[in-house]
Every structure is written in structure tokens, then in C-alpha cells.
Chains A and B, each alone.
Chain A
Amino acid sequence: MASFVQQLINGLTLGAVYGLIAIGYTMVYGIIGMINFAHGDLYMVSAFIAVTCFTLLAAAGITSVPLALTLALILTVAFTSAFGWSIERAAYRPLRGSTRLAPLISSIGMSIFLQNMVQVTQGARVKSIPTVISGGIDLFSRGGFNVHLAYSQIMIVLVTVALMAAFTYLITRTSFGRQQRACEQDRTMTALLGIDVDRTISLTFMIGAALAAVAGVMVTVYYGVVDFYIGFDAGIKAFTAAVLGGIGSLPGAMLGGLIIGLIEAFWAAYLSAEYKDVATFAILILVLMFRPSGLLGRPEVEKV
């Protein structure tokens, strides 16, 4: 029981991070119908920026945790959004209107580029920072097993919930959200109505990048270790989450992220840590066999 609750906590934390990254995939897929392979690497870039920020802030003598966290978050989000904007502008916008696979290959190229750029400029070695948020609460203990809820886990879940609320508001209530959803449905018609489609797509990439950046900062705080390869793994998991929830659906991305986080935590704890990824993909295949559009996705209506 105690270990079950502990895995539940760990799984939810991990799932929140996957969910945040998955939203970037799902939004980009929704609006331009492409799988953005470089998104996971953008998350990795943001984690490196976060490491630099935390180190700088510590050197500047800022010891207050909330202040350091807020500043690091703002800086990382700003820089990563700039990366998101530039990537779209340089590698994807010239390919708009060509075949479906062209931007996919371009994004694979971008993913290779980002991984090696970080390797060349920041070094290939693992970087670790001192713990930012230490401590936690011991919820209860049973049978000699302490259920520990770290403050960093609380922070991750709280930030994710707050961000999801703000983000849902942005998409459903604001004028930008309406434009974004209109572009998803029909880009030509939206352009005819006087909406700058390119700008909307750019903003979508920036928002996706910003969410990935938040995930990057939180993972840096949670684990304290980053290397240039974390983007691939997280990217594949988040993409799986987006597909599991139904690609194009925002609540689906979050749900998919949580499910995958939980599967990983429980599988690693009770069955085998080596095969947790096999379990994730096997469950994805099973779900898609019975619900071909994912859990919350709407089935695509094909017009002839």
C-alpha cells in the first residue's frame, strides 16, 4: 500500500512533465499536421538553459528559492520560445504547402542539429546542479516504508495544474485561442477572414516551446542532472502520450502524459525497470487497436 502511494506520487510527477511536453506536439500537429521531432530536443535545450540560469543566479548570490525559481523560469521560457520561433521560421515555414513528409524530415534534421549543437557548445558531459528545492513531507509510513512527498514534486504538480488552467483559458476564451482553433480547422478560410496565419503558427510554436521550457526547468530542479540525450527519450514518451490521448486534443495530451507516467512508475516498481518502455509502447499499440483515434481524439471524418 505504502509503496503503491509512493509510485502514484512519482508517476503523477513524471506524467505532469510528459503532459507539458506532449501539449507542444499536439498543438503543432493540430495546426499544421506535422510531427515535430525536434520538440523533445527543444526541451533538452531548455534544460541546459535552466542549468546555466540556476548556476548564474547562485553565483549572483540569489539564495531565495522562490525568487531564483521564478527568474530561472522566466529566462528559460523566454530563450526557449526564441528557439521555438526560429526553428519554425528556418526549417518548417519554407516547407509549408509541400508534401507531408518534407517537414518531418526537416524536423528530424533539426533534432540532430540541436543535439549536436548542445554537445558542441556546452560539452558532451552530464551536468548536475546542487539541489534547488530540498526536503519534503513524510506522509505516512507502514511496514517500514516511508511515503515521501518531495517539495519539488508538489511544485511540479502545482505548476502544471496552474499552467493547464491558464493555457485552457488562453485557448478557449481569448482572441488568440479562437484564431488558433480556426487555423486548426481551415487555414485558407482563416486567412480569408483576415487573420495572419503565419503569425498564429509562429505563436503556437512559441507556446509549445514555452511549455517544454517549463518542463525543462522542473526536470532540472527535480533530478538536478541533464545531458544532451534526454530530449530523445522524453520526446518519444511525450509524443506517445499525445497519440495515446488523441493527437490534436489538448486534454488528451495531458491525460496521455499522466497515463504514461503512471505506467512507467508502476511497471518499473512492480515488474521490471528494463522493460518499462516496452510496456508503454505495447499499451499504446493496444489502445490504438481498439480506439484508433486515441482516448480523447475525435475520429477523422474523411470526405471524398
Chain B
Amino acid sequence: MRAAIHAQHPVTVGERLRDAGWIAFVAFILGIPMIGLVTVDVGGKLVVHTRMPLLVAFVVASFVIRLVLRFVIEQLKRRKAERLARAPQRQTAARSLLKPLGWLLASAALVLPLVFSGNRYVVDTATTVLIYVMLGWGLNVVVGLAGLLDLGYVAFYAVGAYTYALLSTQFGWGFWESLPVAGGLAAFFGLALGWPTLRLRGDYLAIVTLGFGEIIRIILVNWTELSGGPNGIDSIPRPSFFGLPFKAPSDGGAQTFAGFFGLDYSPGHRVVFLYYLILVLALATNLFVSRLRKLPVGRAWEAIREDEIACKALGINVVNVKLSAFALGAMLGGLAGVFFAARQGFISPDSFVFSESATILAIVVLGGMGSQLGVVLASLVLVLLPEIGRDFAQYRMLLFGTAMILIMVWRPGGLLSRREPTLTAPAGTKAEAKP
């Protein structure tokens, strides 16, 4: 292996410079219309300004970054190749680390509000991460397990959120009564969309689901009597702790959470409660999905992802199995939506745009399709990245897009691409198999 590496012709400095020069040239061409020239509104009329120093800086930066990055990547690749040549079995060791990592993350999630009890921002952000984890696990059933490309997942999220918002503000339903209704309704929408369209091939399904997501959003924007239109629905009741609301104790009023447990009232209680609520919901989702994977229907999902024709030949009802994955994924999305509405207290169509679907899909794919733990890691990356970038306000989403491309290029199979087989032959059966 070592010899093989050295046998490759070494890259000369001249070549490196030429390569970086070419990149700088491309950067120059692309930079002219975007960086070098800018149209500025002066008194209602556009005027072109030039920003040559910025363009020069951009070109030089591209040159240097390319030069350094290429060198670093080559070094890293060579090290990795050498390491592999020395110890090829290291790969399996990494895999056995995954399970402890999962437990570690779960226990960290459990104690997080205790550690950061005074820090509302951390708990809030962690709640957001968990919402995405739950959405990711829901979509994982559709995309990761059944292999159906769904670009409109946010529609089911919206159905769940609006169901709870309407039930609670119009009919006074509580969080827990609304949860199954909203989940059922979202599943029904999943069936209604899936039934006519699941016969379509992968990419056609993608555009149909995308269209469905847009249809739901447009209806929410325009059907003002139902959804409040662009203004959305506000003052949605927050969930209570087994009937004990999180309110400042009022004289002679109903029992509150703080009053019942003899605590001093603090608005932080609700934040922590909401955090644990979504943690429970997400963990229940995970347990539910990982159990389902071991049932015949779960096996059928993965079988269909791998080879649809073989499944048909084996007598699996492909349409029904796909529908079950679709409806189940939709239901989980709906449940997450209920929580979202209850947590925000206010929802509007702005929360259910296509980029939200894209983010959830990115979480599933970046995590490594079908990997439950990968979804957690990817949610952490994709939610925390924009949070960290908050200081660079306007560059935030620019970094987000760049990171999505770079992670994909770096690990095309996702962060955790090696999947544990869900089914292994019991020891000894192979030898007994009759011809």
C-alpha cells in the first residue's frame, strides 16, 4: 500500500499553483457579475457600482483556500490510506461505538435541563433540535426505510399543527385529546395523497408530494375563515401537566403546577416541561419505529426499498406496504405538528414552507438514510449551525447551504452510512439449509 501511494506521481508545486490559478480564474469570472458589480438604487433609479477591492480579495481568497485545502485533503487521504493498510479491521471497531454513543446522547438529553436549568436559551434550542429529530424519525420511515422520496413532508406537520390550533381555540380541546385526532387526520391526509400517487416512480412521486405541500400551504394562506390566512392562529393554549396549568398562582383560582408541588412559580417550568414532553414523544417515536422495523411490515418496507419487483414476485402487496409507510410517516409528522403548535402558541403558514421540508429531508439524508442515530446527529448539525451563525446574521443561510453541499460531498452516504442489518441469519441455519 505504501509503495502504491508513492508510485502515484507526486504533485509538483507548479501543478498546484496552476490548479489554484484556474480556480481563481473561475472565481474571477463568477465574481464579476455578483461581487464586482452591484446595482444600487439611487433616487428610484438603478446605478451600477463597482467593488473591485472586494472582487480582488475574493479571487485571492479562492486561490489561497484552494491551494491549502487541496494540500490538506491530500495529506488526510494519504494518512487514511496508510492507516487502513496497517489495520483494516478498525472499521468494525467504529461500528460498535455507535450503540454507546446513542445511550450517551439519550442520557445527555435527559439531564440537559438540570444542567442548564437557568439557561432558557439552551433548553429552547434543545427543544427545537428534538422537534427536528422527531420529524426526521417520522420522515425516515418514508424515505429511509420505504425508499419513497417525499418533498412535501411539511404538509403533514402543518395538518397536525392546525388541527390542534383549531380544536383548542374553537372547541376548547386539550393537548392530549387533540394528539390522537391530529395524528389520525395527518395519517388520513397521507393516505389520501398516497393512494392515487404511490404507483408513480420515485421522482414523479417527489414532485407530486412537493405539489401537495404547496397546495396545503396555499390553502392555509388563502382560506382565511378556517386558518386565519397569513396572520395565522394565535393564543393557542399550552399543554398542562396532567391538568395543572403553568401559570402564576392566582388567588382562589384553579390549582397550578407550581402551587401543587409547592414550588415558587417560574416561567422556566413550562420550558423544561415542554422539553421533556418532546423528548418523550421523540423517544416513543424511536421505540415505535425500531419495533416496527422488526415486524413483517417493517421488513417489507426495507425490502421494497431494495427491490420492488422482487417484492411483487414474493407476493407482497407493494401498494399497501407503501401506503402504510406513508400514512405512518404522516402521522408522526402530525404529532410533531401538534407539539409545535402547543409550544409556539402561534402558527402561521410561514412555518410550513418548502425549505422546511427540504431541511427535514436533508436531516434524513445527511444522517445516513435509515439510520436513527444519524438523524439525531444531522439534526444537531443542521439546527445548531444556524444558531451558531446568528452572529453573522445575513451570512447564516449562506453558511447553511454551503455546509449542506460540503457534508454531502464529504460523506455522500450520510454521516452514519453503515447500516446495521435488521435481520441476520441465526447461527447454524446456513449449514442446515437444504438444497
Contact = CB atoms under 8 A, between A and B. Distances in A.
Contact of A56 (B48, B212, B397, B412): B48
B30 interface: yes
Interface stretch (B36-44, B254-262, B295-303): B36-44
A130 B409 CA distance: 42
B34 A101 contact: no
A275 B196 CA distance: 22
Given A51-B46, A122-B38, A116 B215 contact: no
Contacts of A304: 309-310
B214 interface: yes
B26 A86 contact: yes
Contacts of A116: 394-395, 397-398, 401
Contacts of B34: 45, 48, 117-118, 121-122
Contact of B203 (A35, A83, A99): A35
Interface in B200-215: 200-204, 206-208, 210-212, 214-215
Given A275-B218, A281-B214, A302-B309, A105 B30 contact: no
B408 A109 contact: yes
A55 to B, nearest CB: 5
Contact of A236 (B208, B210, B394): B210
Interface string A100-136: 1111111011111111111111110101111000000
A207 interface: no
B222 interface: yes
Given A109-B362, A274-B222, A99 B413 contact: yes
A49 B38 CA distance: 10
B197 A281 contact: no
B409 A79 contact: no
A98 B33 contact: no
Given A123-B38, A278-B215, A105 B203 contact: no
Interface string A70-97: 0000000001001100100011001100
Interface stretch (B110-118, B284-292, B336-344, B353-361): B353-361
A99 B369 contact: yes
Contacts of A115: 397, 401
Contact of A52 (B48, B197, B202, B215): B48
A105 to B, nearest CB: 5
A125 B41 CA distance: 9
A288 interface: yes
Contacts of A302: 309
Contacts of B215: 277-278, 281-282
B431 to A, nearest CB: 30
Contacts of A280: 211
Nearest to B406: A109
Contacts of B41: 125, 127
A105 B218 contact: no
A288 B197 contact: yes
Contact of B405 (A52, A91, A121): A91
A284 interface: yes
A247 interface: yes
B405 A98 contact: no
B35 interface: yes
Given A105-B366, A127-B39, A285-B197, A48 B33 contact: yes
Contacts of B354: 232, 236
B381 interface: no
Interface string A268-304: 0000001101101110110011001110000010101
B149 A101 contact: yes
B365 interface: yes
Given A35-B206, A274-B222, A101 B33 contact: no
Contacts of A243: 203-204, 207
B188 interface: no
A127 B38 CA distance: 11
Contacts of B365: 101-102, 104-105
A59 interface: yes
Contacts of A100: 202
A295 to B, nearest CB: 13
B358 A108 contact: yes
A98 B412 contact: yes
B412 A59 contact: no
Interface in B15-60: 26, 29-30, 32-35, 37-41, 45-48
A110 B405 contact: yes
A5 to B, nearest CB: 28
B33 A284 contact: no
A33 B366 CA distance: 20
A105 B394 CA distance: 22
A29 interface: yes
Contact of A102 (B143, B355, B408): B408
B197 A289 contact: yes
A266 interface: no
9 contacts: A55-B47, A95-B408, A105-B361, A108-B358, A123-B38, A123-B40, A277-B215, A285-B196, A285-B211
* Nearest 3 Cβ contacts at the A-B interface: A109-B404, A281-B211, A113-B401
Interface of B: 26, 29-30, 32-35, 37-41, 45-48, 143, 149, 196-197, 199-204, 206-208, 210-212, 214-215, 218-219, 221-222, 309-310, 354-355, 358, 361-362, 365-366, 369, 394-395, 397-398, 400-405, 408-409, 412-413
Given A79-B29, A113-B401, A292-B199, 9 more contacts: A101-B365, A101-B369, A109-B401, A112-B358, A112-B397, A127-B41, A247-B203, A281-B215, A282-B215
